[in-house]
Amino acid sequence: MQKYVQLLVHFLLMLLSQSQNPKCRANNGVDEVDWAILYKAPRQIRGKIIVSNSADAWVDGNADLTQQGGQSFGVTLQHVVGNHDDIKFLAYNNVPPLMPNVKTKSNSKGVIIVRTTQNIDAASWIVHTVPGFPAAKTGYSWPVAENANGHLLICLTISESQINAIAASLLRAEPLVHYNDIPETETVGMQYFKKLSDGQFPTVPPYLSRQSIKTAGQAAVTVNVYSKSAASRYEIYKRVIVKALKKSIKVWSRRDNKLKGDCRVVERNIRLIKSPARVGNHDTNLDADLTNWAVSDPGNIFCLIDKPYAKNQTVQSAMAVCIDQAAIFARFNDIAAQVEDCP
């Protein structure tokens, strides 16, 4: 009997620990993972997902994105949309929830979540493409209008020591921070986070930022974050990403009629991925897909970019989150199988 009680107490403590945890979650919304990426193709309500311990193929999301329970991002965001004394966060979105007609130079969307319990280091960074999501402290509400569009959601489990580097990158991207309750006692010495939370964006050079962070798992993944301010007048795909990676890239993004593919420099090409394409067995197309991403050629790097491949982003702030991980690269490289001919 005593052994049974001990096991029950251990199980309940484990559930309590998970319920207070801001770390990324597996497809079922229960298990902790180092990273998770969900790609919702247009007209899909579950999307396809890969996670750090299961990334050999895109698999169906475990539950509809319109419901919070039973799916990776709904559970990770439970203390963003709800209340918890020991979970705090900073949220940014160029289309902030419940704030219509807000003007901003940025297109960045994401959430930095931390656990403030003493002597516990647990945090995550979610980067995504969904306007008006998530709304802080008002309950889980997936914007149903976005079911028609393609979206990406990326979760990275990190240590709190990585937050300042993330903030340094975000300062150049000039995001619209619409909620922040992370106490200053949690970010002591993090000057860039302080500036980000106060909206103190730089107005003088340098106009570019490159920051490197790592996920918190034992097999830590390197993530390089590149950002530029509007004052740089740099085109982020060629002048920033290609230059930093020193490789060609294949780009999935809506385009204007001004920027074309570019094959003029050997091993520094920009090849445009053909539309339509397939995410596993889900169809996607550039008319409805709002994501902008690239893969290196050769691998193993995948980048999520917050601005389309268009000329006007040279005078806008922008950011690219580039993940160096073979399985992630392989899944997106499958989608990028067909590219347009060089102009």
Q: Are 160 and 189 in contact (CB under 8 A)?
A: no
Q: In what order do the strands lie in the sheet with 301-305?
A: 208-214, 222-228, 318-324, 301-305, 293-297, 248-252, 270-272
* Spatial separation of the C-alpha atoms in residues 222 and 213, rounded to whole Å: 6
The CB density around residue 67, as the number of other CB atoms within 10 Å, is 12
Residues of the chain falling short of pLDDT 50: 5-18
Report the relative pairing of strands 293-297 and 248-252 from DSSP bridges. Answer: antiparallel
CA distances from 148 to 46, 74, 93, 192 (A): 12, 19, 20, 37
* Spatial separation of the C-alpha atoms in residues 30 and 71, rounded to whole Å: 8
CA distances from 268 to 48, 93, 227, 258 (A): 31, 32, 19, 19
Q: Model's pTM, two decimal places? A: 0.94
pLDDT at position 99: 87
pLDDT at position 4: 52
* Spatial separation of the C-alpha atoms in residues 43 and 147, rounded to whole Å: 5
Report the relative pairing of strands 177-180 and 270-272 from DSSP bridges. Answer: unpaired
* Spatial separation of the C-alpha atoms in residues 240 and 158, rounded to whole Å: 25
Tens-digit pLDDT profile for residues 109-125? 999 999 999 999 999 99
